[in-house]
Amino acid sequence: MTKVSMTVNGKAVSGEAEGRTLLVEFLREGQGLTGTHVGCDTSQCGACTVHVNGEAVKSCTMFAADAEGAEVTTIEGMANADGSLGTIQQAFQDYHGLQCGFCTPGMVMIAADLLKNNPNPTEHEIRDYLEGNICRCTGYHNIVKAIQAAAGQSVPAVAAE
The residues that touch other proteins, with contacts defined as CB under 8 A, are: 18-20, 22, 41-44, 46, 49, 52, 55-58, 61-63, 65-66, 68, 110, 113-114, 129, 131-133
Q: In a 10 Å sphere around its CB, with 0-12 CB exposed, 13-18 middle and 19+ buried, how is residue 87 labelled?
A: middle
CB of 74 to other proteins, least distance (A): 14
CB of 56 to other proteins, least distance (A): 5
CB of 117 to other proteins, least distance (A): 9
Tell me whether residue 114 or residue 161 sits nearer to other proteins (CB atom): 114
Cα dist from 57 to 36, 45, 61, 95, whole Å? 12, 12, 8, 25
The candidate with the shortest Cα–Cα distance to 91, out of 44, 161, 155, 19, is 155
Tell me whether residue 63 or residue 92 sits nearer to other proteins (CB atom): 63
CB of 49 to other proteins, least distance (A): 6
Cβ-contact 39, 134 below 8 angstroms: yes
Tell me whether residue 63 or residue 95 sits nearer to other proteins (CB atom): 63
Tell me whether residue 94 or residue 132 sits nearer to other proteins (CB atom): 132
CB of 132 to other proteins, least distance (A): 3
- Give every strand in the sheet of 71-73, ordered side by side: 11-17, 2-8, 71-73, 49-52, 55-58
The candidate with the shortest Cα–Cα distance to 59, out of 7, 106, 3, is 106
Tell me whether residue 22 or residue 98 sits nearer to other proteins (CB atom): 22
Strands in 18-161 per DSSP E: 49-52, 55-58, 71-73
Q: Amino acid letter at 47?
A: A
